[in-house]
């Protein structure tokens, strides 16, 4: 893991994390958290020891997506916090500590400090990957986290819609500035397939993410459909990878290809 310039002193537990992968988006509501959860569980399915950190102070939705909505941060030794366990993942969330309405009024420096503390004071086990669900946007918090954490790379999530793409472009430019490799782009909600007749419709436009990726010579890691099952799994708190319904295999495969 590369040392970030001006990095915070690294905690003992954080040193056990081999690769930190940031999942980021310019715009909110594009499916960043959904991608983070499914990418993390796909890595578990690949046999990787994986953790998931919910750093989205504006809407920490990971606890709900993993059925941990009622969980609170558990202290191990009074100094560090034990991550929660769900779907084979070690999970930590700003949502386990503070109510979202409190966190959203934090100023940039306070929010970034709280997030760095959360990362360094969690008793992470040995992990191959720590997936970080970043807050949306390219402001102070995102910049500070990117600069102060030793990060392997970032994954950008966008929909094919113009408003989302222009914000995704800002995120790519930000990561280029702080010299974090962008590993690829995920185009979410690329199309909707009618469950009755199979007709596909590109509700948010066609191939916008693919074109943006081409402009920056980035790989497209997946083009994911807008599909009820993805929303259902999030709301039920049961990730897609725990589903025993063979109808979900095709979607799982898309995330597995992303993980590989």
What is the per-residue DSSP string for 142-197? HHHHHHHS--SEEEEEE-SSHHHHHHHHHHHHHHHHTTPPEEEEEE-S--EE-TTT
Q: Does 227 bind ligand ADP (CB under 6 A)?
A: yes
Q: Does 234 bind ligand ADP (CB under 6 A)?
A: yes
| Nearest-angstrom CA–CA distance, 223 and 226 | 10
Report the binding-site residues for ATP. Answer: 26-33
- Which is nearer to ligand ADP, 29 or 108 (by Cβ)? 29
Copy the structure tokens of residue 101. Answer: 């309405």
DSSP state for residue 95 in the 8-state scheme: G
Q: Does 28 bind ligand ADP (CB under 6 A)?
A: yes
What are the residues whose beta carbons fall under 8 Å from the beta carbon of 117, sequence distance 6 or more? none
Window contacting ligand ADP (CB under 6 A); options: 113-121, 146-154, 176-184, 219-227: 219-227
* Bridge partners for 84 per DSSP: 91
- Structural contact between residues 117 and 159, judged by C-beta atoms closer than 8 angstroms: no
- Which is nearer to ligand ADP, 1 or 100 (by Cβ)? 100
Please pick, from the candidates 145, 230, 258, 259, the single residue that binds ligand ADP as defined by CB under 6 A. Answer: 230
Copy the structure tokens of residue 222. Answer: 């997946």
86 φ, ψ (degrees, to nearest 5): -160, 135
Please pick, from the candidates 13, 20, 30, 141, the single residue that binds ligand ADP as defined by CB under 6 A. Answer: 30
Question: Which residue's entry shows tokens 């007749």?
Answer: 197
Q: Does 231 bind ligand ADP (CB under 6 A)?
A: yes
Q: Does 223 bind ligand ADP (CB under 6 A)?
A: no
Least distance from ligand ADP to the Cβ atom of residue 52, Å: 13
Q: Does 180 bind ligand ADP (CB under 6 A)?
A: no
Residues 120-159 touching ligand ADP, rule: CB under 6 A, are 136
Q: Does 29 bind ligand ADP (CB under 6 A)?
A: yes
Please pick, from the candidates 112, 147, 158, 188, the single residue that binds ligand ADP as defined by CB under 6 A. Answer: 188
| Nearest-angstrom CA–CA distance, 156 and 25 | 5
Q: Residue numbers of the site for ligand ADP (CB under 6 A)?
A: 25, 28-34, 61, 136, 188-189, 224, 226-227, 230-231, 234
């Amino acid at each position: 893991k590369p040392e970030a310039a001006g990095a915070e002193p690294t905690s003992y537990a954080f040193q056990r994390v081999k690769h930190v992968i940031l999942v980021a988006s310019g715009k909110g509501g594009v499916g960043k958290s959904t991608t983070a959860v499914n990418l993390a569980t796909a890595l578990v399915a690949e046999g990787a020891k994986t953790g998931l950190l919910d750093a989205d102070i504006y809407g920490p939705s990971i606890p709900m997506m993993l059925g941990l909505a009622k969980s609170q941060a558990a202290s191990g030794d009074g100094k560090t916090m034990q991550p929660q366990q769900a779907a084979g993942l070690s999970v930590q969330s700003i949502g386990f500590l503070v109510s979202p309405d409190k966190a959203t009024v934090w100023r940039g420096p306070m929010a970034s400090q709280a997030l760095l503390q959360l990362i360094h004071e969690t008793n992470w086990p040995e992990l191959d990957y720590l997936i970080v669900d970043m807050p949306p946007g390219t402001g102070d918090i995102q910049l500070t986290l990117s600069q102060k954490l030793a990060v392997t790379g970032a994954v950008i999530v966008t929909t094919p819609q113009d408003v989302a793409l222009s914000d995704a472009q800002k995120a790519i430019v930000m990561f280029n500035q702080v010299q974090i490799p962008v590993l690829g782009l995920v185009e979410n909600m690329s199309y909707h397939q009618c469950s009755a007749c199979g007709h596909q419709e590109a509700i948010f436009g066609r191939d916008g993410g693919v074109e943006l990726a081409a402009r920056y010579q980035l790989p497209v890691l997946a083009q994911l459909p807008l599909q009820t099952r993805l929303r259902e799994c999030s709301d039920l708190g049961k990730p897609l990878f725990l589903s025993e319904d063979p109808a979900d295999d095709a979607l799982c495969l898309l995330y597995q290809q992303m993980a590989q």
